[in-house]
Structure 1
Amino acid sequence: MESAQVLRVVIVDDEAPARARLRDLLGDIAQEQPTVVVGVAANGVEALRLLESEAADVVLADIRMPVMDGVELARHLGRLEKPPAVIFTTAYDEYAVQAFELSAVDYLLKPVRAQRLADALAKVHRRQPLADAALAALAPGARQHFSVSERGRILLVPVADVLFLRAELKYVTARTAEREYLLDESLVQLEQEFAGRFLRIHRNCLVARAAVVGVERAGEHDGEPHWDILLAGLPEGLPVSRRQWPAVKQTLGI
């Protein structure tokens, strides 16, 4: 990407003065790095909705924002067919900055300086896709949303609404009380990321601990007796494998 090419920019920050400053700085460096601001957002969810209708080359994203922070936003953007470059703006201390450098994610320390912003934009054409592993290292906490690609849109499914995750062929089905969603993720990775929220009951199934309302004996009449987990908001029980039953029993205090 040549520096003369006009970059389409989305600014994401929960503070209006910070958004205004970035817009002003982009105007100050317009001759060196021409840009056009195609939209602004106050958090990651607003940014994703905006990007459904506006194509962008670069997202300038604050790190700490309500609803959805900049790191989780970047992880969702990475699943787009043509993800924009992400440049973080942050007030993190020097140790966090070192983490950014090691992960090859560009960043701007607040207060953002014009030349630093110009230098960051100049690197856009040399960028590497933001790896989930690197982003997870910057924000070790679990995500608040799953992202689902559906009919050209990114749907955000709150993790707290998911009753269970079940591996089926190459996808994972995430079930809420209302419907099912297909996730292009590994059940093993999801188990590691959400270890405190989901409990493995079968080699292909994790259930939300908070949704468990009990267990019941099943299969007595068909010759395959086993235990089912009962989840709030779900009419049918989910079978617990013999291998997982001791751990499930211990976890649930049965």
Structure 2
Amino acid sequence: MRKIHVIGIGAGDPEQLTLQAVRALRGTDVFFILDKGEVKSDLTQLRRDMLDAHIPEGTYRVVEARDPERDRSAGGSAYSPAVGDWRSARAGIYERLIAEELGEDQTGAFLVWGDPALYDSTLGILQEVLDKGAVDFEYDVVPGISSVSALVARHRTGLNRVARPVQITTGRRLAEGFPEDVDDVVVMLDAHQTFRQYADQDIEIYWGAYIGTPDEILASGPIAEAAPRIERLRAEARERKGWIMDTYLLRRRDARERKEQ
């Protein structure tokens, strides 16, 4: 039976590959990579650089396919259906790649940024392919260092505080209000810099873009002070590269911390 590795490759630094990930890379015959176009070609090149660094040349193949476009203008009640349509389009591509490019006794792999279990669609899409029943395979998952872990490491801070919860959410959900009963919130997939709406509150922000890559940018401080700087850095980076991936931690200070300061 065909086998698939879903390999978490970290937030961008090639040295974030785990020993388990390297072992899975070396046991793979065919790597499937979805090309996101010329603007994001450096993401594809980073994957290829990781393969060149850890696998002998000539022992594997790379098969690329164009990633389907997602309707990013869809909002409100149309958002979830738009994401569902995009995932189904991806499932069709995955099904074709596995059926046509992977032999019955071979192993393929998808290289996933960060950790495959955190805000990534690969596992759900592979299960959708299996449920359709047109192609059969088994798969396993190799965890990776997420952008969340890399972010707090680069800022030399913890993800949570003693005996307190932490919540990971999206910019879309943060726009609906700061989560109740949580003072430490990690925000991903925020294209609209939603943190700005909390500039009047006593909240620290730890922000990072392109974490783990040579283009990494970091900024931190009270939102009121840091927000203008982050907006400028973000705009300059997006203009320079044509795309941006960023993550941030919001940390609400309590009365005791304010008093101690």
TM range (shorter): under 0.3
Structure with more relative contact order (C-alpha pairs < 8 Å, separation 6 or more): 2
Question: Whose strand proportion is higher, 1 or 2?
Answer: 1
Of Structure 1 and Structure 2, the greater helix share is in: 2
After TM superposition, the score normalised by the length of structure 2 is 0.26
Q: TM-score, normalised on structure 1?
A: 0.27
